[in-house]
Structure 1
Amino acid sequence: MKTFSHVALAAICLSSFGLAPAAAQVKYPTRAIHIIVGFTPGGGNDIIARIFGQKLSESLGQPVIIENKPGAGAILATEYVARSAPDGYTLLVGASGAMVINPAVYEKLSYDTMRDFKPVSELGSFPLILIVNAASPFKSLADLVAYAKSNPDKANYSSSSAAFQLATELFKQKTGVPMQMIPYKGANDSVTAVISGEVTATIADAGPVTSQVNGGQARALAVAAPKRMDSLPDVPTMKEAGADVEAVLWSGIFVPAATPPEIVRKLEAEFVRIARLPDVISRLKLLNIESVGNSSEEFSRIIAADLERWRAVARAGNIKITQ
């Protein structure tokens, strides 16, 4: 009569107590994955979602559906994913604005980035650029700072979101310039206000700005990033221009906090792999987005540091949004 081996007996015992190996517990994915984007189609975050979603579908053999749920500065989409089943089938493309800027400026928020989400991987980063009207007398960052300090009642800036407002507030705190914020509905409107002469300057992401700079309608004074941009090699960084300012926005993948670790690890490996594909890197570069693809742990550290930094900037500038 045949007898069971010790290994087989151990497996049966583990199974009966619900302790079978992780591979036996979760088979993933077996159906369509939904990636939620808190912005309208066609923007940077939507394009990132579609580029990565296509590659993810090809490698996992399941459909990846991009769902746009715009509204309230991406709060609606973020809330939706926070309350979704933690099963790996509902992912969030979370941008800096929703994940680290909103918690810094909103007095009440229906989600907590650190409590309600598990970061999977940072997908892309967006350098920010400070621009002025091309016909203005400001040839350098020092020119703008000197003007703003001499004309505190005239110097102002346009902003279309809390993210750009806090980035400019950081610039103000580091340089001591007294610039008044003028709100606009969208990033393109904010840039147009500079080109038309309605405002003195703006800080915006490279997407809506680079073509105007290259076309001669706007002048870029500095990039708020650790290094110069390939598409604007003659524009210095803020540090090179004399201001100790770094403000890089990002977008990454998040899942609900209770998502099983083995699913998080599988998604992390996939997104890191995709971010390093040459065609993905080149497609994002055309949009002035740097492909990243870091680990869950590294992304978590970036988020924690950004939360602390932007909360400090908001407190120092007394910036609060009440709902």
Structure 2
Amino acid sequence: MSHNTEMNRRQLLLAGAAAASGLLLPAWTHAADDYPSRPINFICPWPAGGTADVSMRAICQVASGVLKQPIAVDNRAGAAGMIGAAAIAKARPDGYTIGQIPISVTRFSQIGSLQADPRKDFTYIARTSGQTFGIAVLPNSKFKTLKDMVAYAKANPGQVSYAHAGVGGATHVGMEEFCMAAGIQLNAIAYKGGAAALNDVLGGQVDMLADSSSWAPHVESGKLRLLATWGEERTPRFKDTPTLKDLGYHVVVDAPNGIGAPAGLPPAIEKKLRDAFRFAVNSDEFKAVAAKIDAPVMYLDGPDYKKYVNEVYARETVLIQRLHLKELLEKG
């Protein structure tokens, strides 16, 4: 056998081995260069028409222009956002199923409402924007200020009621953190969502509403009075309303949302998605929509977002124990 023939034989054997090993890899790992070659499914874990849905549709519209493929928003609401989050975690990691990941995955995974570990079961693409939470009352309420409410609650433990969007959610946990900081005990009334909570406060069945900015149009129209917001800084739209921090309570709740995919996403696909959503979050189109729904832009790139999730997970471990959240959920 000639030297050239032997070299050709070895090259063919090496090529065959490489091809065979390639067959062992999932098909989508070879498709990164062509990604995306078809529409992308985006799971939104909230109902259509809500603030989260509106913001995600706006960001997906901009990102689809970057990726040159449609991004179809698929609303899978329920279980305080955990039905959609679980669907993202279980999807094939090929870049064609992505979605919004509420930061509450850090809490619900630890109390058993989400069968996924946010520290290892997601690929994080971008943190996008937060929410503006607040405490609102009817205009004829005896509580003209938050200070009035705290003084009354201290004198009458458990008699002041507030409506929230579900046990263990941001509105419930945030309000209970505030109660601990203020040294008061309130009567928490749980609802299946913010809309139902808002309706009962407007109807006078509950003293106060603790919610994200569902109260905003009603405050502007004079149907509700805003006592405080929960952010790091005052919201521009309601700049005369103090934050809990302004009033001396070191409680900040902004519950930022983010975008992610299942764990195991090929690095090249992950990079394309991170680049597209970085552009989208920082676009004028998204910022305009975020401002309308009082959603402060809080962008973090994927790796920094993952670090943030891990930090929140550790804080939630302490909070769950302190608030006895598992016991509250068991009681319903």
Place the TM-score, normalised by the shorter chain, in its bin.
Answer: 0.7 to 0.9
Match of 2:228 in 1: 222
Match of 2:306 in 1: 300
CA pair 33-281 structure 1, distance change in 2 beyond 3 A: same
| Alignment of 1:275 onto 2:281 | yes
- 1:87-124 Cα deviation digits (max 9, x unpaired): 11100211233x223224x2353111112112110121
Instruction: Tell me how far 1:26 sits from its aligned partner.
Output: 2.2
Instruction: Tell me how far 1:149 sits from its aligned partner.
Output: 1.0
Aligned residue for 1:292, secondary structure, equals strand
Aligned residue for 2:249, secondary structure, equals coil
TM-score (norm 1): 0.88
Aligned residue for 1:228, secondary structure, equals coil
Higher mean alpha-carbon deviation, 192-201 vs 29-38, is at 192-201
Match of 1:10 in 2: none
- Tell me the distance in 1 between the aligned counterparts of 2:65 and 2:31: 24
- Tell me the distance in 1 between the aligned counterparts of 2:62 and 2:74: 16
Structure 2 portions without partners, runs of 5+: 1-13, 23-28
Match of 1:291 among 297, 308, 312: 297
Match of 2:199 in 1: 192
Match of 1:182 in 2: 189
Match of 2:61 in 1: 54
Q: Is the 8 A contact 1:121 1:268 kept in 2?
A: yes
Instruction: Tell me how far 1:24 sits from its aligned partner.
Output: 7.8
Instruction: Tell me how far 1:311 sits from its aligned partner.
Output: 3.0
| Alignment of 1:101 onto 2:107 | yes
Instruction: Tell me how far 1:17 sits from its aligned partner.
Output: 4.8
CA pair 16-205 structure 1, distance change in 2 beyond 3 A: same
Higher mean alpha-carbon deviation, 296-305 vs 233-242, is at 296-305
Aligned residue for 1:203, secondary structure, equals strand
Structure 1 portions without partners, runs of 5+: 1-12
| Alignment of 1:155 onto 2:182 | no
Instruction: Tell me how far 1:171 sits from its aligned partner.
Output: 0.8
- Tell me the distance in 2 between the aligned counterparts of 1:107 and 1:37: 21
Match of 2:79 in 1: 72
| Alignment of 1:313 onto 2:319 | yes
Higher mean alpha-carbon deviation, 295-304 vs 106-115, is at 106-115
Q: Is the 8 A contact 2:135 2:211 kept in 1?
A: yes
- Tell me the distance in 1 between the aligned counterparts of 2:87 and 2:174: 27
- Tell me the distance in 2 between the aligned counterparts of 1:100 and 1:143: 34
Higher mean alpha-carbon deviation, 250-259 vs 50-59, is at 50-59
- Tell me the distance in 2 between the aligned counterparts of 1:185 and 1:122: 26
- Tell me the distance in 2 between the aligned counterparts of 1:311 and 1:146: 31
Letter in 1 for 2:151: A
Higher mean alpha-carbon deviation, 279-288 vs 304-313, is at 304-313
TM-score (norm 2): 0.85
Letter in 2 for 1:292: M
- Tell me the distance in 2 between the aligned counterparts of 1:165 and 1:64: 33
Which one has a bigger Cα radius of gyration? 2
Instruction: Tell me how far 1:278 sits from its aligned partner.
Output: 1.3
